[in-house]
Structure 1
Amino acid sequence: MSAISVAGQGPTQSERTVDFPRPDRLVKGNPERHTCSLYEHPNMDCGIWQCEVGAWNIVFAPNKQEFFTVIEGHVRIHHKHSNIMIEVGPGEAGIIPPGFEGTFEVVEAVKKYYVNVAV
């Protein structure tokens, strides 16, 4: 995993955690997900996240949102209540807004920077 540099503190590093989507939310596959949380603050956390190909349903809390930038790979995020879908690939960014419900699909194994913010 990589590090994130924090002004006044230098590069951060963390151990990686591994998990899988909840079985009741699985849509396709059972992808292994790796999270390396590199900076935490009361209203924000950020780091690097990697995942194998697969898809699962997501439900964001009304007080949580995420900004992310894909480093490698390709994801699609499908909105539950409309036919709107976004695709995000290397060098591109996406936002998952508070209260979002839909499907997170990893089309090609992905590595991304993420920033979760409590609102």
Structure 2
Amino acid sequence: MSIAISDIVFFDQSTAEKETYQTPEEKRINGNPLQAIINHYSDSSNQFHTGIWESEVGCWHVHYTEHEFCQILDGISIVRDKNGNERTLQTGDNFVIPAGFEGEWEVVEPCRKIYVIFEPAS
């Protein structure tokens, strides 16, 4: 298969639609934040995805089965592991959350990030 310039996905030219959702009740710790994704690309195996994620203020439990690279574009969040250790994330931060991470994600100021996810085949 040959890949051409027309196959390259430019976020600013993408026609991907924003999908909004409420944080599932069983995961909520504080608030009921509205979240959204604009998934600009998924590969044919459905294991690799990239796009933009947004969230309103709130806090919820997370359990990562995927590896995720993140770049915070706007806002402030706090990520806590299940032992209570935490890290504040803010505009300009770049990081990877490995599969297997469990804890909490708290949005302190409305947050927007680029995500790149790899979900290993089970």
Q: State the secondary structure of the residue aligned to 1:24.
A: helix
Show the counterpart of 1:39. 41
Letter in 2 for 1:47: G
* 1:102 and 2:106 aligned: no
Q: Distance in 1 between matches of 2:51 and 2:26?
A: 26
Query: Which of residues 36, 40, 56 in structure 2 aligns to 1:52?
Result: 56
Q: Distance in 2 between matches of 1:94 and 1:22?
A: 25
Q: State the secondary structure of the residue aligned to 1:83.
A: coil
Please give the TM-score of this superposition, normalised by the length of structure 1: 0.86
Higher strand share: 1
Shift of residue 118, structure 1, vs aligned partner? 1.9
Q: Which moved more, 1:10-19 or 1:25-34?
A: 10-19
> Are the counterparts in 2 of residues 88 and 94 from structure 1 also a CA contact under 8 Å?
no
**Aligned pair count?**
110
Instruction: Decide which structure has the larger Cα Rg and report it.
Output: 2
Q: CA RMSD in A?
A: 1.4
Runs of 4+ in 1 over 6 A off after TM superposition: none
Q: Distance in 1 between matches of 2:104 and 2:88?
A: 12
Letter in 2 for 1:113: I
Identity %: 28
Question: Mind listing any 5+ residue stretches in structure 1 that lack a counterpart?
Answer: 1-6
Q: Distance in 1 between matches of 2:88 and 2:67?
A: 18
Shift of residue 94, structure 1, vs aligned partner? 2.3
